[in-house]
Amino acid sequence: MSLHLVTITVMNSLKVKNLQVLDLQPWSLELMAGEVIYLSGPSGSGKSKLLRAIADLDQYQGEVALALESSQSMPGHSWRTKVALVPAESAWWGALVGDHFSRYELPQLQQLGFDEEVMGWQIDRLSSGEKQRLALLRALASWPRVLLLDEPTANLDRDHGLQLESMIDGLCKQQDVAVIWVTHDREQQRRVATRGFQIVDDAVCEVKS
Amino acid sequence: MNLISLTPWDLGLAASLVLMVALLSANMHLGVGKQLLIAGLRTVLQLVLLGLVLKLIFSYVHLGWISLMAVFMLLIAGREVMARQKYRLRGWWGFGLGSLSMFVSSFSITVIALNVIIKVEPWYTPQYAIPLLGMMLGNTMSGIALGQDRLNQTAWQQRQVIEGRLMLGWSWSRSIADIRKDSIRTGLMPIINSMAAAGIVSLPGMMTGQILAGTEPMEAVKYQILIMFLIAAGTGFGTLVAVWFGSRRLFDERERLRLDRLKTS
């Protein structure tokens, strides 16, 4: 049993080694399967840039690997299927919500207060909160192993925020999804994450609690 | 058919009409008079120069000279394609891609037309080769410029959408597919329009020239149809090549969107 657990943990762990973007000092991190960490720092300090680099959307120095497989060992799009970035502001191109989903049967839909009818909704009529929740849901449709969430509750009221937190918690516990969560909210940091990192000046430092 | 040769006096008369427009514009402060005169002067100088060069080339039929002329035309057209784009690829790509696609389409189609369709002997006879190539270059140039301009500009504006798709694990090609399609359509629109309107709304320039120079109308029509089809094919292939490779160049080997490869003019 314990051997089995260890294998799964190694299989899904995200390894970041000497990652460097902008003028930040190299950052290394090992994220276990099912683990959630938070990342915070003043705006413009490079949080989003770090996430973009891990998702391989920007050029970067260093190495990123998932389950011992380097991001460079597979095509960019395969990597991004496994390591999904959900940006603070989502882009929508189709007329209907369903145009953006690769599958409609998502158990998480209900957990965020939607049902399958949402696929027929018009994008123009969505509130910013609905857009934010749906942007997260569409990313889940491709079974990512790692989620990079950039302030995922910024546009949500407290109840919807808590709902989203518990949905993510379920994903981590049941499907071993690992999460890097950008948030400034101390309460939220305590609620969702086991450890945290903060950008201070030009370094990403682990927060000692 | 007898060809009525134009005297300098005839051209001078036509020039005086243009001069009148320029004077009128100066009086009304339209501000285009100077431009009009300069453009008119350029027409005279460039065409006379072309006439001299053609006369020279027509009298020494040699593949080397004709190739040199053709390459020169291609390079000018490549520069023109680049100059017409608001956002263009940095470095040699901006110039190279336009020129390459025109080379692929205009050159190959002109050579095919000379060898297989017109069957002139030798195939590089300059009376046929140079005007044909010129017409091909001129028209594919607009198609390629329009297509590339649309591609780069839309990619620039829709950056969030393209990256949003990449984040969902879409491939680079799928992420930009609709923009690519739209750009190709934009590049092909002018030739589709001019084929549809040919002979009804507009009398094509080449045919007009031929008829004025004394060619029998049906002969002029046949050549015009040939030219139209060649241009359509050339513009089609050229735009496809330019937009396909142009869209590939907007992404790197990791399928990241690389708008830093574009610069604004």
- Does A59 contact B256 at a Cβ distance shorter than 8 Å? yes
Per-residue confidence (pLDDT) for residue A11, from 0 to 100: 61
Closest Cα in chain B to A89: B160
Closest-CA residue to B167 (of A91, A171, A44)? A91
pLDDT at A145 over 90: yes
Write down the ipTM of this complex.
0.91
- Does B167 contact A142 at a Cβ distance shorter than 8 Å? no
For the domain with range A32-58+80-206, which CATH number is right: 3.40.50.1220, 3.40.47.10, 3.40.50.300, 3.50.50.60?
3.40.50.300
Which of B:176-195 have CB within 8 Å of A?
178
Nearest CB among B158, B160, B171 relative to A77 is that of: B171
- Does B161 contact A139 at a Cβ distance shorter than 8 Å? no
| Average pLDDT, integer, range A195-202 | 91
Strand partners, A201: none
Contact between A38 and A189 (Cβ < 8 Å): yes
Per-residue confidence (pLDDT) for residue B171, from 0 to 100: 96
Band (A209; pLDDT cuts 50, 70, 90): low
Give per-residue pLDDT as tens, A99-110: 999 988 888 999
pLDDT at A19 over 60: yes
Q: Prior bond to B122 cis, omega within 30?
A: yes
Give per-residue pLDDT as tens, A74-83: 999 999 999 9
Token pair of B40, please? 């008119």
Tell me which H or E stretch contains A39. strand A36-40
- Does A142 contact B169 at a Cβ distance shorter than 8 Å? yes
- Domain ranges, ordered by start, for chain A: 32-58+80-206
Tell me which H or E stretch contains A167. helix A158-175
Per-residue confidence (pLDDT) for residue B131, from 0 to 100: 87
Of chain A, the percentage scoring pLDDT greater than 90 comes to 70
- B166: chain A residues, CB-CB within 8 Å: 57, 76-77, 80
- Quick check: helix, strand or coil at residue A195? strand
Which residues, 6+ apart, have CB-to-CB distance to B76 below 8 Å? none
- Domain ranges, ordered by start, for chain B: 1-59, 62-264
Q: Rounded to an integer, what distance in angstroms lies between the CA atom of residue A66 and that of residue A82?
A: 9
Q: What is the mean pLDDT of each run of 10 residues along chain B (265 residues)?
A: 76 91 87 86 91 88 89 90 88 90 91 90 89 89 93 95 96 96 95 86 78 87 88 93 95 94 87
Closest Cα in chain B to A86: B167
pLDDT at A85 over 50: yes
Token pair of B191, please? 């030739």
Q: What is the pTM of this model?
A: 0.86
Per-residue confidence (pLDDT) for residue B89, from 0 to 100: 92
Sheet containing strand A69-70, edge to edge, reads A27-31, A14-20, A61-66, A69-70
Per-residue confidence (pLDDT) for residue B60, from 0 to 100: 83
Token pair of B42, please? 């350029």
pLDDT at A8 over 70: no
Nearest chain A CA: its distance from B181 CA (Å): 15
pLDDT at A136 over 90: yes
Q: Rounded to an integer, what distance in angstroms lies between the CA atom of residue A29 and that of residue A146?
A: 14
Strand partners, A180: A37, A148
Give per-residue pLDDT as tens, A93-134: 999 999 999 988 888 999 999 988 999 999 999 999 999 999
Per-residue confidence (pLDDT) for residue B80, from 0 to 100: 86
